[in-house]
Amino acid sequence: MNGAYDLIVVGAGMAGMSAANKAAGAGWRTAIVDELPYGGTCALRGCDPKKILRRGAEVIDAANLMRGKGIDTNGLAINWADLMHHTRGFTDPVPGNAKRELASNGVDTLHGTATFTSPDTIEIAGDIHRPRHVLVATGARPRTLGFPGAERMIDSTDFLHLETLPRRVVFVGGGFISFEFAHIAARAGSTVTIIDRGERPLRNFDPHLVDLLVARSSRVGIEIRSRTTTVGISGIEGVDSGHRIQLDTPNGPATIDADLVVHGAGRVPHLSTLGLDTAGVASTEHGVAVAAHLQSTTNPVVYAAGDAAHTDGPPLTPVAVFEGKVAVSNMMKGDQTMPDYRGVPTAVFTIPELARVGLLEHEARDRGLRVDVRFTDTSGWYSNYRVGETTAAVKILIDTTTDTIVGAHMLGPDYAELINLCGLAMKLGLTTRQLKSMTAAYPTVGSDLGSML
């Protein structure tokens, strides 16, 4: 029995590593464990490599937008193998760098599957440990889909390791994973289809802007089939040409053939190997059940952060990072701090990108707020004319009682950067009058904010 650790962190992603470094920096004997290479989803299998691939798609799209405006696009194409090599130039060093940083801060780096053997003991690679605290930061995994042939799909991790990009690609699910990879694949020359069971994809974003994005996606060759599901006795079956997908559509049964089918139908907390029942740790389909201070509601030894925790925070890397730090602070000082989710923006990195911070219109009205909805079609503004973009719009919700932003929704080039100003204003309680008083560098996208307000 090893009882020497003050804290064992399960999961070496951004939440876990930030927590482990903080604890060790405060003098706690700390260990971190993962069964996968250190670095987590964002750095190795998600946000970061995906956005490197997107850069190739951005170049193609930017050139196409300027065709006939001074740019000759003849022969311009993505070399997929070279782009993947460039991506691996970032991801390959991540695990080693992460381990070295942790070790330099005094964190013991362990490998293997961690499983609770009692409410206060945990087994790692055959060794039993009894730490003072355990932080569950195991992230998320692709949701299990029950239709026949689902095992023929690859997930987003597999997509990021494709040596070649097939000609026909189908994405199952209408969320951000499908849309982001679809926009990359379409610019790389693939024929792309998104299958979505809902009336409208990207349900957590402003409906008006989503409709604009769907139309923009269609213009680059992405077919989006709404109110469509994968069904039938065979679901996805193998055929000589690759895969055949049986569909239930608003117009009846249909089929579509593909060389590659990608799972983009959501993710769930990765908790199945932890033995939470043995530890008396309550959980839901949304993660470990935690109080506002991120401590397990049923086992005081255990805290959780990031995608593994059932909190009010969005499933975003920056949120996971500050939740990990908050959890450690509360372990050390008692439950004094709650995560602050105000002004946290999120973006779908399509081309152009779709971004959101704060409330949707119906959410603001459901709360009884008196809001002034300021919608602006910015497609003709100088910032977008300059790059040839013809799809761009902004919707900002202002609480008329306080003159503060309660929601901002943006679709356009570089608007994922611009949304950060709105998030900062929300976090600090700045009024629109104060924001409009800012003198910005010109001409920049940031200088457009005053006119949007």
Q: List Cα–Cα distances, 154 to 172, 182, 259, 399, in angstroms.
A: 10, 14, 11, 44
pLDDT band per the 50, 70, 90 thresholds, residue 240: confident
Q: What is the pLDDT of residues 307-344, one digit of tens each?
A: 999 999 999 999 999 999 999 999 999 978 999 999 99
- Quick check: pTM over 0.75? yes
**Is 70 exceeded by the pLDDT of residue 44?**
yes
CATH second-level architecture of 150-265? 3-Layer(bba) Sandwich (3.50)
CATH of domain 7-49+85-142+268-333: 3.50.50.60
Q: What is the pLDDT of residue 230?
A: 76
At which residue do the structure tokens 């090893």 appear?
2
Q: Residue 255 — φ and ψ, nearest 5°?
A: -130, 155
CATH of domain 346-452: 3.30.390.30
With 0-12 / 13-18 / 19 or more C-beta atoms within 10 angstroms meaning exposed / middle / buried, residue 239 is exposed
State how far the Cα of 291 lies from the Cα of 303, in Å rounded to an integer.
Answer: 9
Domain residue extents for the chain: 7-49+85-142+268-333, 150-265, 346-452
Strand partners, 416: none
Of residues 295, 221, 257, the one with CA closest to residue 61: 221
Q: What is the pLDDT of residues 348-372, one digit of tens each?
A: 999 999 999 999 999 999 999 999 9
Q: Matching CATH topology for 7-49+85-142+268-333 and 346-452? A: no
Percent of the chain scoring above 90 in pLDDT: 92
